[in-house]
Structure 1
Amino acid sequence: MPTLSLTQPLIKRRIRGVPNSFWAQIYLLLAVLETIVVLIIQIVNIANTAADDSVDAWSNTKTVSSGSILVYDSLFIVGQLFFVVIAWEAVAHKNTIQVIATTCFNCLLFVYALIQYFNNVNIAPADSTASNLLVLRLCLGAITGVCSIAFAALTWELFLDFGWKIFKKLGADLAVRTMFKRRQVLITLFKLDVFFFVGYAIQTATLVLKVTDAETWVQIGVVMPGSVLVLTLGFYALHWENARCMLVVMFCLAVSPAYFIYRLVRMYTVGNHGTMDPYWDTREYLLFFIIVNIVLILGTLYSCWLCYRDFGKGLKTRTLDYQNGKVKAQVDAESTDAAAFTPGHAATHLPKSENRDRWQLE
């Protein structure tokens, strides 16, 4: 009877894009399964919501369309697809930092699912379509919550499994490894920024603001494309170590919290929670996105500053050398020489998955 070995991958056949590691394949498989289940549940929610023409299906005290519910269900689907993409990218490139960020993102999806559930509890009368869908919304929270715990456990295994990656990529220079770690953190933060910045702008432009409101066109014409442009400039500045572009990105990030604080104050001072309050059914969602965005902005700004100080210190050259195969050859030669000149010891190489006492990210 065949047994399952933790040192052998589930899929032994080499497939491009699929990591050749047991724990990495488990992580990716769980991410795909979670995404499939979430997509099925959300498609059912959207189909039932769109087919319900009853106003009372969504509220017994306020006049509200099901449009906002459809937007948030759709946004959840986009978030889940974004999650599985960055999860695959993280394990395919053996990026420990992005694996950790992906697990944290799944935890945020869990919080978002809880907000969806409790927000719908408050507006769904008994024996309505919205009330019947509450069970599915509760299942979303349970699924993402359990998966978050599983991803956290798998993250530790991947941290151990990918430990040699930095050494093989850039050598054993601690200074270079530290700079590379900061670079990977900033790249991961930029990716998360894109989702949360654009996600917040879409919500305010489609659910809160009106076509006749000038602020709507500012959101659509300035905030959304401006956010993408700044983050794209950040990727460019980091890759080519362009100090001037990075300073522009840091300035834009530094003034961004003022915009979100303005939106936060406006959201709670626009009026009473009555039928004329444009935020009454979106306030919890927008508050969640504002908090996450401010935290991400502060983290990204600090990370930009650290990477800016590292410009011109050799990381770019070392990365290019790795791409040309020079670093790997150097590391392999150093490893062979070290084994050959160790008195009384033969050159013994343990399998990667069994060697847990190796270099790791500090």
Structure 2
Amino acid sequence: MAVERFLGTRAQRSFMATILVQTVAVLVMVAIVFRLVEDHVDFNASRYKTIPCYLALFALAEIFEILLALDALRLRNVIQLAGILLFHAALIVFAALQIHETKAALTDDACSGDVNCNGVLWRRVEPYLIVAPCIIGVSWLALMFFVRELYYEFGWAIFHVVGANPKMKTMYQFYQVMICLLKFNFFCFAGVSMQMLILVLASSSAEFGITIAAVPIVLFLLVACAIAVQREIKWLMSISLVLMLGAEAYCIYKLIRFYEPSSSWQYLSTRATLTFFTVASFLLLFATFAVGLRCFADFDKGLQYSKVYGSGETSTEGMNMGERQSSYLGGSRMQPRISIE
């Protein structure tokens, strides 16, 4: 049974088309909101920075989702497709939260021009803000249908990597989950950092410097952990797991800062979104730590070659392994091995 080529089936093309159409439609709605508000308020005022940051975050989220979808289809990774569905659901929540936060930003202070402080501007932008989560919700339903088709289409792919051994299959699936979680951790961290740096922190504050310093540390953590789990480097994996615990402690610290009386005033217009991103980051880190421990326990059990050289169809070792696994098919020739991590 041959594996379909990248974007070679109707389900793959429909999946990508749904994401692309949804991306364009949502970004148009957000851009209209940005333009309407820009004509009447000064974005240099701290309370109005919510709007451009909202646009930037949505642009980042949509680009991230497109790249993640292309990566999942290219690698035939069913687990990553499921992760995209969860990410899409989180986008619905994020879009809904922005309705509340934009209203809070626009209805308290007087506006200039022909828009007064009685909520006229808010009533003009409200329909566009409501349409965004509706579009994402409809596209989410369509994506669930296409992911179901892709599940059956890609179900054969993992057999090409690890054969019919149930234990190897389970270990490889945990490895896939780990890599997928690391990718989503990157987005959540980028979202929290962007909001903190643009909306909340003054460039002269100590917390601004801490946030800037955390960026390369977290990026190192994610990259190092991915390399460690793929190549089964125990000392690097140990360091990565310890750093994850530190990152979780940082998330708890930030949540306390959002609500304690001495600092809560800084986060009034962005507290809901920041809380959403920070809680999501904490839960992702916790899940990544737990799955990381499981992957660590699976080191040195014969999976490393499949993780590192899963696409090495021309290598001698890969050919020999394919020949050994062909016994599960009654001696028929295996198709070229592929990587789906």
Which of 167, 182, 195 pairs up with 1:175? 167
Which residue in 2 is equivalent to 1:32?
A: 20
Once the two structures are TM-superposed, the CA of residue 78 in structure 1 deviates from its matched residue by: 0.6
Query: What is the letter of the counterpart of residue 292 of structure 2?
Result: C
Question: d(CA) in 2 for partners of 1:272 and 1:29?
Answer: 44
Which residue in 1 is equivalent to 2:181?
A: 189
Once the two structures are TM-superposed, the CA of residue 32 in structure 1 deviates from its matched residue by: 1.1
Q: Is the 8 A contact 2:181 2:284 kept in 1?
A: yes
Q: Is the 8 A contact 1:170 1:322 kept in 2?
A: no
Which of 64, 71, 75 pairs up with 1:82? 64
1:264 matched to 2:252? The reply is no
Which residue in 2 is equivalent to 1:280?
A: 268
Once the two structures are TM-superposed, the CA of residue 312 in structure 1 deviates from its matched residue by: 1.0
Which of 315, 321, 331 pairs up with 1:337? 331
Structure with larger Rg: 1
Once the two structures are superposed, the pairs formed by residues 1-362 of structure 1 within 5 Å of their partners are: 18-53=6-41, 64-125=46-107, 126=118, 128-220=120-212, 222-271=213-262, 277-319=265-307, 320=309, 323=312, 324=315, 325-326=318-319, 327-332=321-326, 334-337=328-331
Q: Is the 8 A contact 2:161 2:310 kept in 1?
A: no
For structure 2, which runs of at least 5 residues remain unmatched after alignment?
Answer: 108-117, 334-341
What SS does structure 2 have at the residue aligned with 1:102?
helix
Q: 1:253 to 1:37 in 2, by over 3 A?
A: same
| Matched length | 314
Q: Is the 8 A contact 1:50 1:66 kept in 2?
A: no
Once the two structures are TM-superposed, the CA of residue 151 in structure 1 deviates from its matched residue by: 1.8
Q: Is the 8 A contact 2:104 2:269 kept in 1?
A: no
Question: d(CA) in 2 for partners of 1:334 and 1:301?
Answer: 35
Q: 1:22 to 1:212 in 2, by over 3 A?
A: same
Question: d(CA) in 1 for partners of 2:311 and 2:133?
Answer: 43
- Per-residue CA deviations over 1:208-251 (Å, capped at 9, x if unaligned) read 1112211111111x211111111111111112110000000100
Which structure has more relative contact order (CA 8 Å, sep 6+)? It is 2
Which residue in 2 is equivalent to 1:356?
A: none
Question: d(CA) in 2 for partners of 1:109 and 1:43?
Answer: 17
Once the two structures are TM-superposed, the CA of residue 263 in structure 1 deviates from its matched residue by: 1.1
Question: d(CA) in 1 for partners of 2:186 and 2:21?
Answer: 25
Q: Is the 8 A contact 1:117 1:138 kept in 2?
A: yes
Question: d(CA) in 2 for partners of 1:52 and 1:198?
Answer: 29
Q: 1:322 to 1:333 in 2, by over 3 A?
A: farther
What SS does structure 2 have at the residue aligned with 1:190?
helix
What SS does structure 2 have at the residue aligned with 1:66?
helix
Which residue in 2 is equivalent to 1:3?
A: none
Q: Is the 8 A contact 2:162 2:306 kept in 1?
A: yes
Instruction: State the identity %.
Output: 24
Once the two structures are TM-superposed, the CA of residue 294 in structure 1 deviates from its matched residue by: 0.8
Question: d(CA) in 2 for partners of 1:214 and 1:322?
Answer: 47
What SS does structure 2 have at the residue aligned with 1:99?
helix
- Per-residue CA deviations over 1:262-287 (Å, capped at 9, x if unaligned) read 111121113497xxx21110100111
Question: d(CA) in 2 for partners of 1:257 and 1:318?
Answer: 31
Which residue in 2 is equivalent to 1:351?
A: none
Once the two structures are TM-superposed, the CA of residue 203 in structure 1 deviates from its matched residue by: 1.2
Q: CA RMSD in A?
A: 2.4
Q: Is the 8 A contact 2:46 2:199 kept in 1?
A: no
Which residue in 2 is equivalent to 1:7?
A: none
Whichever structure has more helix as a proportion of its residues is 2
Question: d(CA) in 1 for partners of 2:36 and 2:327?
Answer: 63
Once the two structures are TM-superposed, the CA of residue 206 in structure 1 deviates from its matched residue by: 2.2
What SS does structure 1 have at the residue aligned with 2:251?
helix
Q: 1:39 to 1:329 in 2, by over 3 A?
A: farther
Which residue in 1 is equivalent to 2:111?
A: none
Question: d(CA) in 1 for partners of 2:29 and 2:197?
Answer: 26
